[in-house]
Structure 1
Amino acid sequence: MFFFSRRSVRRLTAFDRPALIRLLDTDPVATVLARVPVEQRRSLTSAIGLFDSDGLRSVAWAGGTLVPYGFDDDGLDQLAAHIVKTSPSASSIVGPQDQVMGLWKRLESHMPEPRDVRVEQYSMVFAREPQVGGDPLVRRATPAEAPLVYPAAVAMFTEEVGYDPSGRYYRSRVENLIGEGRTFVRMGRGFNGEPKVEFKADVGALAGGVAQIQGVWVAPELRGQGIASACMSRVAQIVARQIAPTVSLYVNDYNLAAVRVYEKSGFVTVGHFSTVLL
C-alpha cells in the first residue's frame, strides 16, 4: 500500500485494489457504477485516487462514465486539475450530487457544451412492501427474444439520453444482458398478433451486492394504464431474491410519473444523484 505525507492524486495500480474495495464498501449503492469494472478485474489505471497520510481517501472511475466518490472541496480541486491535465475521455459524469456538481463546476469552463445537466436525481432502493402486487407476466427475456427487445432498448435510450444508440456495440450490450439473465420483460401481442415487448427493465449494473435497475421502458400506447408499477414490483422482488440483496435505481426528479411508479413498487429515496451528459 502507498502512503503519502501530503494529499496527492494519481492513477491506481493493482496494489491499491484492497484499499479501493474498502472505500467502495462505505456506500455500496452510491458506488455501484464505479465498482462494476473493479469486480470485472479491469485494470485500475482508469481509476484516479486521492491519497493522504492514511492511504486512499477518494476515487473517481474515469472510463466511458466518470464516477467520483468521496472528494471534499480541496479534493475536487485536485481531481479537476488532474482531469484537465490528462484529458480522459468520458461521455458522462454520474454519481452522488455533491460530487458530480462540485466536479462539473470546476470542469465546465474546460469542457464542451454538455448535452444535458440533470442536477436532481433521486437515488432509490427497494426497501418496503410494494403498494401493488407484482405482475406475474414479467419474466426474464430469452436469447431468442433479443430481436424484439433490441428496438425497445433503442427507443428507451433515445428517449432518455437524446440520441439513437443503434449499432454493433449497443446490440451486443442488449444481447449480453439478456444472456446473463439480467433483462426482464412483459410480452404481449401487436395488432396483427405478432409478439411485442410491452415492458422491459435491465439490471444494468451489478456489484458489491447491489443490483442497479436501468433501462425501464413501457410501450407508448400502454403508458398511463398502471402496468409499470406492477411490473417494477415484480422485477424488484425477483432481483432481490435471485440476483442481489440490494436493488437500486436513480430517476430524474422532474419525471414525476416514474418517481410515483417506483414509490408504489416499494422503492424509497436514500440519496441524490446528478448526471452531466457530455
Structure 2
Amino acid sequence: MLTTTTAKVLEAGELDAALEVLDRDPVSNAFVASRVNVAGLDPWRLGGEMWGWYSGGRLTSLCYAGANLVPICAGPEAVRAFAERARRAGRRCSSIVGPAEPTTELWSLLEPSWGPAREIRGRQPLMTTRALPADITPDPLVRRVRRDEMDVIMPACVAMFTEEVGVSPLAGDGGLLYQARVAELVTAGRSFARIENGRVVFKAEIGAVTRHACQIQGVWVAPEYRGQGLSEAGMAAVLHYALRDVAPVASLYVNDFNAPARASYRRVGFTEVGAFMSVLF
C-alpha cells in the first residue's frame, strides 16, 4: 500500500533549497537543473511542477512532473510519496526517466495504475568525459547549425527521434513543440552537424546546460554513412565546443543494447559513471 503523500509542489521561495538538491549530483540532474536555472520554479515557465519531499523539515528530494516524470535524489520514502502524488494526479507525462534505482522503484509503484508501458529501457549507461580525445581528430566539417538551416536539420532530427523513441515527434500536434525545441537549440548555438550537399550526414545537440555539466543528445549518423568512423570524429568535434564553450563536464546516456554507440563513446573518452532508466508511454 502507498502511504499518504508528504510531497508538495514547491513555491518560488524554495528555489535555493531546490538548487542545493540539484547540485548534489550535477551530472545526473543536468536536465532538470538546466530548466530550473532558466525558469525557476514557476510551473508555467518550467513546463511542469516541481515536487519536494522533506526529511526533518529539510528539503531532500525532488521530482519534476512535466512532459517527463523525473525523480531527483530520491530515496525509498520520497519515491513512495512521489508515486502516490503521481497516481492521484493521473498520468500526464510521456515518459518516466531518471537514475535507474529510484526510477525502477517509482515505476513498480505506478505500473498497476499507469501500465502497461509502451517500452521499458531498464539500463541506460550514463557516461561522462572532461577531456578531448587525444587520438581522434575532430571532424572539421562539423559546425554549428545556422538559423536559416532549419529545413535542413529537421528531417535528420525527426529521423533520429523516430529511430530512438519508436514514434514520430510529428504526431499529435504536427510537430510544433518538437520543431520549437529544435529551433531553440539552433538559436542557442547548441545544434551541430556535418552537412553535405544540403543533407545532414552527422548531427548532435548539447541539450541541457548548467555551470557544472552539459548533456549531449540526439547523436545521429545517416544510415548509409554508418560504420565509417563519422560518429567518433563528429563527437570529438562536438566535445571541442562543449568543453571549451559550455561546461567542464560533458555527459550523455545511451541504451545498454546499443553496443556500437557505447564503443564509439568510449573511444572518444567517455566512461560510465552510473545508469538511467526510461519508461516510455
Report the TM-score, using the length of structure 1 for normalisation. Answer: 0.92
User: Which runs of 5 or more structure 2 residues have no equivalent in the other structure?
Assistant: 44-48
Going from structure 1 to structure 2, the CA distance change for 1:11 and 1:88 (only over 3 Å counts) comes to: farther
Equivalent AA in structure 2 for residue 21 of structure 1: L
Give percent identity, aligned residues only: 39
> Could you tell me how far apart the structure 2 residues matched to 1:49 and 1:23 are?
10
> Could you tell me how far apart the structure 1 residues matched to 2:79 and 2:183 are?
37
- Of residues 82, 86, 101, the one that matches 1:83 is 86
How far is the alpha carbon of 1:206 from its aligned partner? 1.5
Q: Do structure 1's residue 125 and structure 2's residue 128 form an aligned pair?
A: yes
> Could you tell me how far apart the structure 1 residues matched to 2:104 and 2:65 are?
16
Deviates more, 1:122-131 or 1:195-204: 122-131
Quote the RMSD (CA, aligned, Å): 1.5
> Could you tell me how far apart the structure 1 residues matched to 2:161 and 2:249 are?
24
How far is the alpha carbon of 1:208 from its aligned partner? 4.1
Equivalent AA in structure 2 for residue 147 of structure 1: D
In the TM superposition, what whole-angstrom CA distance separates every residue of 1:91-143 from its partner, at most 9, and x where no partner exists?
Answer: 11111101111100111111032111001111111234524221111110111
User: Which runs of 5 or more structure 1 residues have no equivalent in the other structure?
Assistant: 1-6, 190-194
1:233–1:266 Cα contact (<8 Å) kept: no
How far is the alpha carbon of 1:54 from its aligned partner? 4.3
2:62–2:73 Cα contact (<8 Å) kept: yes
- Of residues 225, 230, 244, the one that matches 2:233 is 230
Partner of 1:3: none
> Could you tell me how far apart the structure 2 residues matched to 1:268 and 1:129 are?
13
In the TM superposition, what whole-angstrom CA distance separates every residue of 1:8-37 from its partner, at most 9, and x where no partner exists?
Answer: 311110111111101111110111122122
Equivalent AA in structure 2 for residue 22 of structure 1: E
Report the TM-score, using the length of structure 2 for normalisation. Answer: 0.91
Partner of 1:51: 54
- Of residues 268, 276, 279, the one that matches 1:276 is 279
Q: Do structure 1's residue 150 and structure 2's residue 158 form an aligned pair?
A: no
Question: SS at the partner of 1:240?
Answer: helix
Partner of 1:169: 177
Going from structure 1 to structure 2, the CA distance change for 1:70 and 1:43 (only over 3 Å counts) comes to: closer
> Could you tell me how far apart the structure 2 residues matched to 1:198 and 1:255 are?
20
How many pairs are equivalent? 267
